[in-house]
Amino acid sequence: MGNEWSPESGGEDIESLRQRVRLLETRLGESNAQLVAIQEMGAALGSTINLDRILAVILSKITELLGADRSTLFLLDESRQFLVAKIAQGLDIGERDNELKLPIGEGIAGWVAKTGNTVNIKDAYRDKRFNPSRDRQSGYRTTSMLCQPMRNYRHEIIGVVQALNKQSGYFTVDDERMLAALSTQAAISVENSQLYVSMMAKNIELQDAKEKLQQKTEEQDALLRIEEVVSTVLDLDSVLERVLERASQIIPSEAGSILLKDRTTNQLVFRTSRGPSADAVKRLKLEPGTGIVGWVAQTGKSVLTNDVANDPRHAKGIAETLGMRVHTAICVPIIAHQEVLGAIQLLDRKRPKGQYTEDDLKLLTLISGQVAKAIEAAHARDELINQNRMIAIGQMLSGILHDFRTPMTVVRGNVQLMERENDPIERRHHRAIIETQIRHLDTMTREVLAYARGEKNLLLRTVHLNSFFAEAMDVLRPEFAERQVNLRVALNYAGDIRMDDVKMRRVLFNLSRNALEVLPAGGTFEVETTLVGTDVVFRFSDNGPGIPEEIRDRLFEPFVTRGKQYGTGLGLAIVKRIVDEHHGTIKFETSRLHGTSFVISLPRFGDTPVQPSSDVTQ
DSSP code string of 115-130: H---EEES-GGG-TT-
What is the phi/psi pair of residue 178, to 5°? -60, -45
In this prediction, residue 221 has a pLDDT band, given cuts at 50, 70 and 90, of confident
Whether residue 397 has pLDDT greater than 90: no
Whether residue 373 has pLDDT greater than 50: yes
Whose CA is closest to 188, among 39, 36, 35, 51? 51
- Please give the share of the chain, as a percent, with pLDDT higher than 70: 84
Whose CA is closest to 219, among 189, 194, 252? 252
515 or 100, which is more confident: 515
Question: How many Å from the N-terminal Cα to the C-terminal Cα in the chain?
Answer: 146
Exposure string over 441-480, b if 16+ CB within 10 A, otherwise e: beebeebbebbbeebbebebeebebeebbeebbebbeebb
Whether residue 466 has pLDDT greater than 90: yes
Lowest mean pLDDT among 147-151, 203-207, 585-589: 203-207
The rounded radius of gyration (Å) of the Cα atoms in the chain is 53
What pLDDT is attached to residue 608? 44
Query: Which of 187-196, 238-247, 439-448, 548-557 shows the highest mean pLDDT?
Result: 238-247
Q: Which helix (H) or strand (E) holds 542?
A: strand 535-542
Biggest alpha carbon–alpha carbon distance for the chain: 196
What pLDDT is attached to residue 144? 92
For the CA atoms of 160, 164, 168, 172, the dihedral, rounded to the nearest 10 degrees, stands at 30
- Whole-number Å distance between alpha carbons of 197 and 428: 114
561 or 441, which is more confident: 441
Pairing type for strands 535-542 and 157-166 reads unpaired
Interval 460-489 mean pLDDT: 92
What pLDDT is attached to residue 493? 94
302 or 26, which is more confident: 302
What pLDDT is attached to residue 95? 47
Whether residue 524 has pLDDT greater than 90: yes
Q: What is the mean pLDDT of the chain?
A: 82
Interval 374-393 mean pLDDT: 76
In this prediction, residue 618 has a pLDDT band, given cuts at 50, 70 and 90, of very low
Interval 186-205 mean pLDDT: 81
Q: Record the pTM.
A: 0.44
Whether residue 259 has pLDDT greater than 50: yes
For 227-239, how does the pLDDT look when each residue is reduced to its tens digit (9 = 90+)? 777 777 678 888 8
- Please give the share of the chain, as a percent, with pLDDT higher than 90: 29
Angle of helix 424-453 relative to helix 501-518, nearest 10 degrees?
Answer: 90
Do the beta carbons of residue 239 and residue 227 sit within 8 Å? no
For the chain, the helix, strand and coil percentages under 3-state DSSP, each to the nearest 5: 55, 20, 25
In this prediction, residue 596 has a pLDDT band, given cuts at 50, 70 and 90, of very high
Interval 284-307 mean pLDDT: 91
Type of residue found at 1: M
Whether residue 532 has pLDDT greater than 50: yes
Beta bridge partners, 87, equal: 73
For 90-131, how does the pLDDT look when each residue is reduced to its tens digit (9 = 90+)? 655 444 444 478 899 999 999 999 999 999 999 999 999 998
What pLDDT is attached to residue 615? 34
For 6-21, how does the pLDDT look when each residue is reduced to its tens digit (9 = 90+)? 555 555 678 888 888 8
Whether residue 568 has pLDDT greater than 70: no
In this prediction, residue 467 has a pLDDT band, given cuts at 50, 70 and 90, of very high
What is the phi/psi pair of residue 539, to 5°? -120, 125
What structural domains does the chain harbor?
A: 29-198 (3.30.450.40), 230-376 (3.30.450.40), 454-603 (3.30.565.10)
In this prediction, residue 559 has a pLDDT band, given cuts at 50, 70 and 90, of low
What pLDDT is attached to residue 455? 55
Interval 440-460 mean pLDDT: 67
What pLDDT is attached to residue 541? 95
For 318-370, how does the pLDDT look when each residue is reduced to its tens digit (9 = 90+)? 888 787 888 999 999 999 888 899 999 999 998 777 899 998 999 899 888 88
Interval 245-251 mean pLDDT: 87
What pLDDT is attached to residue 351? 76
- Whole-number Å distance between alpha carbons of 134 and 1: 67
Quick one: how far is CA 545 from the chain centroid?
55
Interval 285-300 mean pLDDT: 90
Whether residue 63 has pLDDT greater than 80: yes
For 262-278, how does the pLDDT look when each residue is reduced to its tens digit (9 = 90+)? 877 888 988 888 888 88
